[in-house]
Amino acid sequence: MLGNQGDSAKRKSLHGHWSSRMAFILAVTGSAVGLGNIWKFPYIAGQNGGGAFVLVYLVCVAIIGMPVMMSEILIGRRGRRNPVATMALLGQEEGGSEKWRWVGGMGVAAGVLILSYYSVIAGWTLAYTVKSATGAFAGASAESVSQQFNNFVGDWRLIGLCHTAFMGLSIFVVARGVERGLEQAVRFMVPALLLLLLLLLGYSMTSGFFQQGLAFMFTPDFDRLTWNSVLAALGQAFFTLSIGMGAIMAYGAYLPEETSITGSSAAVVVADTAIAMLAGLAIFPLVFANNLNPGDGPGLVFDTLPLAFGQMAGGVFFSTVFFVLLSFAAWTSAIGLMEPAVAWIVERFHHTRAQAAVMIGLLIWLLGVGSVLSFNVLSDFRFLAGTIFDNVDYLTSNIMLPLGGLLIVVFAGWVMCRNSTSDELGTSGLWFSAWRVMARFIAPIGILLVLVNAVR
């Protein structure tokens, strides 16, 4: 079954295939839509001054995110293995070097590192589900909500417990294999999340500060834009689309031959971007209405949304549902973050899926302790980008993902032969030429320019 060199169209994945095109789109959307859209986008945009950052982010999504996503899917489907083995195999076939496996290896590492802090924040959403349901935010003032947040993250035992619970949930699903239940979850989760965001948006519009929110998000002030915020925008584009680390490559490995890569990518990119924009539009008016600071950092949505729900009719219900949905969104992303590492361990060391999930999960849990402590015991322990949490985030989003993305587009655009890529994309027409120009020139030059200028 393996090693059918030169006959790549007939390679089969060891882990089975998606049941339909819709199943694939749902799985990729489930990985893309997560804390990145609702927790991270607003606070990163806030820290980087709003408008100009949002504009750069949108440009990065369109001209870099889209070609990287397409490249990842096509590489994954052609190789049909875990990202490390796929890059080694195609590297050998197309470019005569197995060294490309290191691109897959960096992706495996990035997934592990990202999930180590992602799980901590996902643990907060679990706890906020419980707090919402027990009415902790009903009618609460801004001071009370932010006081509750500070007390909560200040308690390392409590947020450590939440982190442990979330990792347990993730290990559980990955161990059982990415199965139907999950597809069903995404099918209803994304539309439901969209509905609740629209409800929040409606509330924001009546807050009297909608204009300020809009202006903050969409009036670009380029004087405030530094190379570092351009890098943050690029990193956020990669993070939110789940690209640059082989996760989409791993999902692409299970994609049926006849599915359109361009169409699927476009659907995911549009859905993901729409949800981030809605989250921003719902949150910033509330920030200004309550005299909060948009640059406040990771606590931003945990300070604004409970406050809004607390003042709404039916707020206890909506708030609970919202945090349940956000936990689900984080859960479907966590699975994607673990998949490259787990698929690699299964194929390389012949462990069972369950063993691999437990091993990788424990490693991630342990690394996550650093992020748990970053909000309390070790909050004053700062180096380079800040706390341990800040450093893991900076290293992964701003360095590893863009670098991985750069190597992936260069591989697809320059190393793979034209025929292999047009074969996978299923066309040699206009869409193919557009992809090829973006993958060969625009995306690599763009990423390099930002990385060099920001890190210098």
Q: Which residues bind ligand TRP (CB under 6 A)?
A: 31-32, 34-37, 114, 239-240, 242, 245, 247, 333, 336-337
Alpha helices in 33-100 (DSSP H): 35, 41-47, 51-60, 66-79, 83-90
Least CB distance to ligand TRP at residue 336 (A): 3
Task: Give residue number: closest CB to ligand TRP.
Answer: 36
Q: CB 405 → ligand TRP: shortest distance, Å?
A: 11
Both structure tokens of 415: 């190393």
Q: CA angle, corner 421, sides to 236 and 234, nearest 5? A: 10
Let me know if 322 is exposed, middle or buried by CB neighbors in 10 A (0-12, 13-18, 19+).
buried
Burial 379-406 (b: 16+ CB within 10 A, else e): eeeeeeeebbbbbbbbbbbbbbbbbbbb
- As to burial, measured by CB atoms within 10 angstroms (0-12 exposed, 13-18 middle, 19+ buried), residue 351 is middle
Task: CB nearer to ligand TRP: give 289 or 334.
Answer: 334
Exposed, middle or buried by CB within 10 Å (0-12, 13-18, 19+), for 228? middle
Nearer to ligand TRP, 57 or 209 (CB): 57
Q: How far is the CB of 344 from ligand TRP (least distance, A)?
A: 14
Closest CA to 57 of 39, 70, 42: 42
CB closer to ligand TRP, 136 vs 271: 271
Q: How far is the CB of 5 from ligand TRP (least distance, A)?
A: 29
From the number of C-beta atoms within 10 Å of its C-beta (0-12, 13-18, 19+), residue 201 rates as middle
In whole angstroms, the minimum distance from the beta carbon of 119 to ligand TRP comes to 11
CB 439 within 8 Å of CB 432: no
For residue 404, the minimal CB distance to ligand TRP (Å) is 10
* Helix segments in 80-155, DSSP class H: 83-90, 101-133, 142-154
Q: How far is the CB of 250 from ligand TRP (least distance, A)?
A: 9
Nearer to ligand TRP, 136 or 174 (CB): 174
Rounded to a whole number of angstroms, the minimum distance from the CB of residue 252 to ligand TRP is 12
* CB 413, CB 439: distance < 8 Å: yes
Complex with ligand TRP: residue 303 or 393, whichever CB lies closer: 393
**Separation of alpha carbons 23 and 421, rounded Å:** 23
34 vs 65, beta carbon nearer ligand TRP: 34
Nearer to ligand TRP (CB atom), residue 34 or residue 306: 34
Please identify, using beta-carbon distances, which residue of 36 and 368 lies nearer to ligand TRP: 36
